[in-house]
Structure 1
Amino acid sequence: MDNEPRSPARAARPRLWLTVVSLVAFVALMALGVWQVERRTWKLALIDRVERRVHAPAQPIPSRASWPAITAASDEYRHVSVHGRFLHDRETLVQAVTEEGPGYWVLTPLERGDGTTVLINRGFVPSERRDPSTRRDGNPTGEVAVSGLLRVTEPKGGFLRDNLPQHNRWYSRDVAAIAAARDLRNVAPFFIDADAGSRSAGAPIGGLTVIRFPNNHLIYALTWFALAFMLAGRLFVTFRGGLFRRQRFVHEPAGGPDASARRTGSDAGTIVEPT
C-alpha cells in the first residue's frame, strides 16, 4: 500500500472526469441562455403580430378553398366578420372560467348562405343561465352579422379533462367533435370569438377573449448565463490553483542546516514551493 503523501499540486489538480463534466455543463448552460434569447425574439414578434391582427378592421372570414391551409401561426386572432343565421337548437356549452366567474361558453352554429357553417362562440353565461330557456330573449332570429376573432380548434379536451360528447360535457372548443355531435355539415375548421359589439340584451357576454403571452425569457436567459459564468469562474479558480500553477523545486543537501526542520519524508532534501 502506498502511504506516501500526495504533493500539494497533485492534490489541487481536478480530476479529469470532473473537468469534462464541468465543461459540458458550461456549454449546455450557455446554449440554454442563447435559446431563451431566441425565444424572446420570437415571442416579441408574436405579440406584435397578434396586436396588429386584433386591432385591424374586421375582414370577411377566409374562403372555403383556403380552410385547409389555416393555421394558428398565420391566422389566429384575425379580426373577421361573417353573416348567417344562428341554429340555436344546436348550441354547445363549454365549461369556462372567466373574469366574470365560472360558467360556460355558448357555441352556436351559424349557417351561411353558401351552405357552410361556422361555430360562433357567442360569449359567456354563468351556471344559472345554462338552460337555453333562461336566455331566449337574447337569441336573435333571421340574418345576423357577427364580428370577432378567428380562433383555431381546440382538440383533445381541456387541461387534464377530456371532452365527453356522449354525456354532453365539453371542456374545450373542439370544432370537429362538436360538429359531429350536433350533426353539422360543411363546418369551418375554426370558430369565432364574438366581440362585445355582437351581443344584445340577455345574450351571452362577448368580448372576453384573453390575449396574454407570458414573456419571461429575458429572466430565464440571464439566469442560465449567470450559472454558466459562475461555473466558469469556479473552473478558472480551480485550474489556476492547481493544474496551471507554476512550481519551484528547491534542492538542499540532506545534511544542510535546515534539513531537520524541513524534512517531510523519504524524499527529504527536496521540497516544492509554489510561486
Structure 2
Amino acid sequence: MSSRVISRIINDILLHKCDCGRTIGLRKGYLVKYLKEVNNGLKIPYRHYATGINLKNAPRTKPLVRSRTMVLNTFYTTLPILIVAFVCVEYKRRLKSQAVQDRVRLQKEEKPIPLPTLMSKLKNEADLKDLEFTRVELEGEFDHDREVVIGYRANQQPHLTPKGSRWQKGVYIVTPFKLKETGDTVLVNRGWVPLQLADPKARVGGQVTGTLKILGLLRSTEKKNPFDFRPSQDSFNEKFFSYLNVDDIAKYLGTKCVFVDAVSSFPDGPIGGQTKIAYSHSRRDEILMLMLILGSIALFWFTKIHPQRAAARYAKMYFSSKHQANKM
C-alpha cells in the first residue's frame, strides 16, 4: 500500500474533527493493527495515476501473424495431403491382405489341387503370381544334395522352436523336389531351422528320402526390403539367399520357376507352415498412426494458426470500417 493511500485513509476515515475544532483519532496500537488488516485484505497494488493523458492505440511493433517462407507454406499445405494419400494406400493394402487371408481360409476346406495339373499354367513368374497361395499337393522325392537356405528369418510358429534355440534367428531350407508324374523339378520350402541346424550334417534325421506326398501353398517372389542392400545371392556362399527370389533360385538350381511352402513339418527336420500372410494388424496400426498424425496437425491448425489468421482478418475489417466512418 502506498504512503499516499495510507495518508488519505488516516485523514479522511480514521481522523475527524469535532465541533470544538479538535482532531479526534484512534489509539496508537489499534491504528497500526487496523492499517495492517486493511492492507492484507485489500492488497491494493502500487500504481501511478496520471491525469490529462490521451490514451491511443499504440502502434504494433510485431505482426499479428508471423510471416513464413514459401517453403514452410508449401510444407504445411502438402503434409496433410500426403498423409491422406498414405492412409488410402495403406487401407487398400489392408483390404488386399484380408482378401488373401479369406482365400487361404476357404482353400483349407477344399481339396488340394495336384501340382502336375497346374504345371502347364506355371510357365513363368507372372503366372505364379496369379496363382499365389493356391493349395496344392505334390508327390515325388527330395534332392537334399542341392538344398539352399534363405535367411535370416524368424519362426512363424515359435511354440515349435527347439529348446535352447532362439525363434527370432534361423533360416528357411529350400530343397529341389522332383515330381513323380511329370519328372519336373520344383522348389519346396521345407520350413524353418535355427542357425545351429543350418548345416545338413547337423540334422541328418530330418533328411527324408524316398517318395512322399506333401501339401503346400504356391508362393511368388517376395518384395525386398528397401533398406536391405545385400544382393539376392551371397557371393561368398552361393547357397545362401537374402530373400525369396524364385527366379534367381530356380536359375541357380536349374529347376522350374515354381515355389511351394510346405504346410506340415518333418520329423527331426525343418518346421513347416512358414507362410506369412497376416499383414492386417500391421496395416491397421500404420493407418491409425497416420490418422493420429493428421488429427494432431488439424488440431494445431484450428487452435493456433486459424485463430491468428481470423484475428488478423477481423482486425483489418474493424480498422478499415472505422477509417471509412471517420472519412464520412
TM-score under structure 1 normalisation?
Answer: 0.71
Which position in structure 2 is the counterpart of 1:218?
Answer: 288
Hey, what's the Cα distance between the residues in 1 that align with 2:59 and 2:114?
Answer: 81
**Amino acid corresponding to residue 184 of structure 2 in structure 1:** T
**Cα distance, 1:226 vs. partner?**
2.8
What fraction of aligned residue pairs are identical, expressed as a percent? 25
- Cα separation, partners in 2 of 1:30 and 1:210, compared to 1, 3 Å: same
Residue 92 of structure 1 corresponds to which residue in structure 2? 148
Instruction: Count the aligned residue pairs.
Output: 241
Does the CA contact (< 8 Å) of 1:32 and 1:224 recur in 2?
no
Q: Distance in 2 between matches of 1:142 and 1:80?
A: 20
The structure having more radius of gyration, on CA atoms, is 2
Q: 1:53 aligns with which of 86, 103, 123?
A: 103
Bigger shift: residues 136-145 or 201-210: 136-145
The aligned counterpart of 1:201 is 267
Q: Deviations over 1:254-275 (max 9, x none)?
A: xxxxxxxxxxxxxxxx9xxxxx
| 1:118 counterpart residue number | 186
Q: CA deviation at 1:220?
A: 0.5
Offset of residue 71 of structure 1:
5.9
What is the CA–CA distance in structure 2 between the aligned matches of 1:70 and 1:194, rounded to whole Å?
Answer: 20
Matched, 1:239 2:309: yes
The gaps in structure 1 that reach 5 residues or longer are 1-5, 253-269, 271-275
Relative to 1, partners in 2 of residues 1:30 and 1:132: Cα closer, same or farther, differing over 3 Å? closer
| Residue among 115, 125, 150 paired with 2:218 | 150
Match of 1:260 in 2: none
Higher share of residues assigned strand? 1
Residues 154-198 of structure 1: CA deviation (Å, up to 9, x unaligned)? 58799343222553333223333333333x24x12x4222112xx
Following the alignment from structure 2 to structure 1, what is the Cα–Cα distance between the partners of residues 103 and 89? 21
Q: Is the 8 A contact 2:175 2:189 kept in 1?
A: yes
- Give TM-score, length-normalised by structure 2: 0.61
Q: Which residue of 2 aligns with 1:78?
A: 134
Task: Provide the C-alpha distance between the structure 1 equivalents of 2:245 and 2:62, rounded to a whole number of angstroms.
Answer: 66
Aligned-pair RMSD on alpha carbons? 3.5
Match of 2:205 in 1: 137
Aligned with residue 64 of structure 2, among 3, 12, 20: 12
1 or 2 for the larger relative contact order (CA 8 Å, sep ≥6)? 1
Shift of the 23–172 alpha-carbon distance from structure 1 to 2, 3 Å rule, reads: closer
Q: Unaligned 5+ residue runs, structure 2?
A: 1-57, 156-160
Map 1:255-274 onto structure 2 (within 5 A). none
- Name the structure with the higher helix share: 2
- 1:90 shift after superposition: 1.1
Tell me, in whole angstroms, the C-alpha distance in 2 between the residues paired with 1:154 and 1:13.
51
